[in-house]
Amino acid sequence: MKVALGSDHGGYEIKEEIKEYLEEAEVEYKDFGTFSTDSVDYPDIAIPVAEAVSKREYDRGILVCGTGIGMSITANKFKGVRAALCHDLFSAKATRAHNDSNVLTMGERVVGKGLALEIVKVWLGTEFDGGRHQRRINKIKEL
Ligand code: RB5
């Protein structure tokens, strides 16, 4: 699995933690920035990450900002991208199983590093259930 990872300044610390985890877990990834806590505009990071997932250059994307909301709004503009804002383990599991979400967004001002990492692990490790859920996704694809 190849993961496209990114954050703005508001999500930088958690992005760095996720990077460490992906390295330990030997998951292939690319860091699309940002590379410091200097202020940047979240769409400048969300756009290349979502584009890479949309073009299937990467299997999944993970985006972190202050709230996770700006990243989610931006990523969901891209064809084939199903970005899910998750701040709890139940949603992280359910959105993989039911929505086949391919981008995870989180807010560093909402969750702590510990929970964020657990969300990443559950989200990366949960398979799509298919079946009736595929039918529902097909309806989104038609839009
Ligand atoms: C940056 O201050 C903040 O607006 C951004 O990280 C994010 O929360 C936007 O949705």
The answer to whether the CB of 69 is under 6 A from ligand 1 is yes
According to DSSP, the residues that pair with 7 across neighbouring strands are: 64
To 10 degrees, the CA torsion angle through 57, 109, 26, 94?
Answer: -70
β-sheet with 2-7: strand ranges across:
28-31, 2-7, 60-65, 103-107, 83-85
- Which residues of the chain fall short of a pLDDT of 50? none
Pocket of ligand 1, candidates 7, 8, 41: which has the most ligand atoms within 8 Å of its Cβ, to mutate? 8
Does pTM top 0.85 for this prediction?
A: yes
The answer to whether the CB of 70 is under 6 A from ligand 1 is yes
Looking at residue 63, its pLDDT comes to 99
Q: Which of 116, 121, 88 is nearest to 15 (CA)?
A: 116
- How many CA atoms lie within 13 Å of 41's alpha carbon, on the beta-carbon side? 5
The answer to whether the CB of 66 is under 6 A from ligand 1 is yes
How far does the centroid of ligand 1 lie from the alpha carbon of residue 131, in Å? 36
Give CATH for domain 2-141: 3.40.1400.10
Looking at residue 128, its pLDDT comes to 98
Looking at residue 51, its pLDDT comes to 98
Catalytic residues: 65, 98
6-39 per-position pLDDT tens digit: 999 999 999 999 999 999 999 999 999 999 999 9
Looking at residue 139, its pLDDT comes to 97
- Return all residues near 120 (Cβ < 8 A) that are at least 6 apart: 18, 21, 62, 104
According to DSSP, the residues that pair with 107 across neighbouring strands are: 65
How far does the centroid of ligand 1 lie from the alpha carbon of residue 63, in Å? 12
Residue type, 25: A
Pocket of ligand 1, candidates 9, 13, 65: which has the most ligand atoms within 8 Å of its Cβ, to mutate? 65
